[in-house]
Structure 1
């Protein structure tokens, strides 16, 4: 149980730290947020839990393919905000479009025989 609390605390601390840094410098916040911290932490936790490098390799490959549709959020959100749409509406719409892109990517990869 203590191990899970440590995992939660470390992960949470990093997210809060990045958001606090972004208040002072959006550039540094963006750099830190763009580093795949969540993916790296997931791989570290997975390795500590399983020592299964094949599973980590599969996770890393899957993350690679799914980063591509996730970029849509960072295109759609600022476009909607610049159009004057409310933040929460813009965020919801951007997430919805991104989910659709994930769905599309999974199906396209499956079509080409790439298993995630």
Structure 2
């Protein structure tokens, strides 16, 4: 239980640090947010819990493929904001697009041999 709490606190601290940095340096906060820190920490925690190279390889490769459907959100949201949409609406549309693209990836990926 303590391990879970420590992981949650670490993830929360990373998000809070990015938000604080974003107040002063939005581009720098975006750079830090784009780093695969959560993925790397997740892999470290997963390896610690289950040191299995095959499992880690599957996890790492699936992470790559699942990142791709999330990328368009980061272009759609600023486009919608610049077009005058309210932040929450733009965010909801971006998130809905991401969910839709995840579903597409989950349905199409295995047809091309992807292990998702």
Pick the TM interval, shorter chain: over 0.9
Aligned to 2:27: 27
Q: Give the Cα separation in 2 of the matches to 1:63 and 1:33.
A: 16
Contact 2:76 2:94 in 1 (8 A): yes
Q: Give the Cα separation in 2 of the matches to 1:47 and 1:33.
A: 23
Q: Give the Cα separation in 2 of the matches to 1:15 and 1:51.
A: 27
> Structure 2 stretches of 5 or more lacking a match?
none
Q: Give the Cα separation in 1 of the matches to 2:58 and 2:114.
A: 11
Contact 1:11 1:41 in 2 (8 A): no
- Shift, 1:40, TM fit: 1.0
> Structure 1 stretches of 5 or more lacking a match?
none
Q: Give the Cα separation in 2 of the matches to 1:20 and 1:57.
A: 34
Aligned to 1:80: 80
- Shift, 1:53, TM fit: 2.4
Contact 2:58 2:115 in 1 (8 A): no
How many residue pairs end up in the alignment? 116
Q: Give the Cα separation in 2 of the matches to 1:113 and 1:32.
A: 32
- Shift, 1:2, TM fit: 1.6
Aligned to 1:58: 58
- Shift, 1:113, TM fit: 2.1
- Shift, 1:54, TM fit: 1.8
* TM-score of the pair, normalised by structure 2: 0.93
- Shift, 1:45, TM fit: 1.0
Aligned to 1:89: 89
Q: Give the Cα separation in 1 of the matches to 2:76 and 2:69.
A: 11
Q: What's the RMSD between the two structures over aligned residues?
A: 1.1
**Structure 1 residues 34-93: Cα deviation after superposition (integer angstroms, max 9, x where no partner):** 001111111111111112222221111001111111101101111111111111011001
